[in-house]
Structure 1
Amino acid sequence: MTDRDRTPKRFDTTVPNEARMFDYALGGKDNYSVDREASEKIREAIPTVLVAVEENRRFMRRAVRHLLSVGIRQFLDLGAGMPGRGNVHDLAHAVDPAARVVYVDNDQVIVNHYQALLSSSDVAAALLADIRSPRDILSAPAVTARIDFGRPVAILMTALLHYLSDDEDPGGIADAFVSAVPPGSHLVLSHYHPGGVSEEEHAIAAGFAESMGITMAARTSKEIEGFFGELVLVDPGLVPPTLWRPDRIQKQPTGWQLAGVGRKA
């Protein structure tokens, strides 16, 4: 991320936006021609990148379903991105209409979309905030009115921490959120991992990220596992997203990411 990302992102249809590009990759309609053009340039250069977006989304849905199956009823989705098919609140409320969900993002447009979807809900909300200020998020009325920190909480950080440089202390940020929740809580995390792609693909991806003014931190599997701290990784551990408890036949993993779920003992 760049310094401009320390404040809420301004709506601008003249430059590509990574959240709208993800929306396009997932078949959504909340994107513009500049986002579609940038996405197609990336697809032409490295076709598997946009497939990886879908891999990540499917992992998130499987992880949420798993957590629902073990009794989790509170979800804090950090860096939520554009709503689409199978949002966290959709999955949670299909199981328990009283489940609590708070989405957090630093993009006003994303938050507006969620607020429109949740306008009639008392148990789900969206908050405009920056994850680099965990205390502000954890103490925000939108969060404290819905999340009971005396009961287990699922913290979602999918495709998020690779947008933070080491200087921004992503590990400390993850720990701040995990420290705020009780035993039985879980961390759902996925992260860019260049070990599964060629040096050429990594270089092209880094070039695209730089051209958009965003960080794309390349971290090892050990570094990514470190974000879980003392949490116990749920089987099958830290793996490519498609290999995390697949519920259908999966294609060969693209290799762009690693994903896992950790439980606080």
Structure 2
Amino acid sequence: MPKFAANLSMLYNDVDFLDRFAAAAVDGFKAVEYLFPYAYAADDLAARLQTNGLQQVLFNAPPGDWDAGERGIACLPGREAEFRDGIGQALAYAKALSCSRIHVMAGLLPAGTSRVDVHATYVENLRYAATEAAKGNVNILIEPINERDMPGYFLNRQDQAHALIAEIGTPHVKVQMDLYHAQIVEGDLAMKIRRYLPTGHVGHIQIAGVPERHEPDVGEINFAYLFKLLDAQGYEGWIGCEYRPARGVALHATSDGLGWLKPWL
């Protein structure tokens, strides 16, 4: 049976962030993920997890200047010291939150550069992050993201991500397989699952309806079929619900849209 984690950056936006832990627990979630924890003290977040019987399964490393449009710095030459400081901060939070997965965003290609130009920087940064993460038995995750939502992003395809895993050469770097992004970029999701799950290199899965990124029962993907396929393939990890409720920030918008989840709880 699939296990679902509520993404608190996108869900329950009708209440303050720290109140979303309780809201998710009331709706039956046993785990949560979100983009960034750094605006809150780690001890405060840990207390919310404990009070509500929740497990923290994923968050992102610092992404650079998010408000200025940066989407990670792992591929940016000249930012290596900042990257290493960010990994240290992320691992401190991971320890406090008992979280074993950190997503490291690759970043946008600098103007006038190609993927070839920044490839070595990206690989070296990930090797450093993996070495540090291994000390606490934490995995670093990399995620292909579609260029419609994030133009210029370094990493877009599943085959690209898995080739990088092979090149980096450590079991502490895995792929975050977001089926929303994968459908937009390349489709053929069932075959992607059958191809890549047996490798052991998929560390986390996320879902959202395509194309609007609403509830997974809205749109072109047959998630009920894919959930059964994940079971048949022996996937025992978490599935992050990283979608925007169709009713936006209306009161109870997330809870009212969870009809798709009921059969799987």
TM-score bin (small chain):
0.3 to 0.5
TM-score, normalisation: structure 1: 0.36
Q: TM-score, normalised by structure 2?
A: 0.36
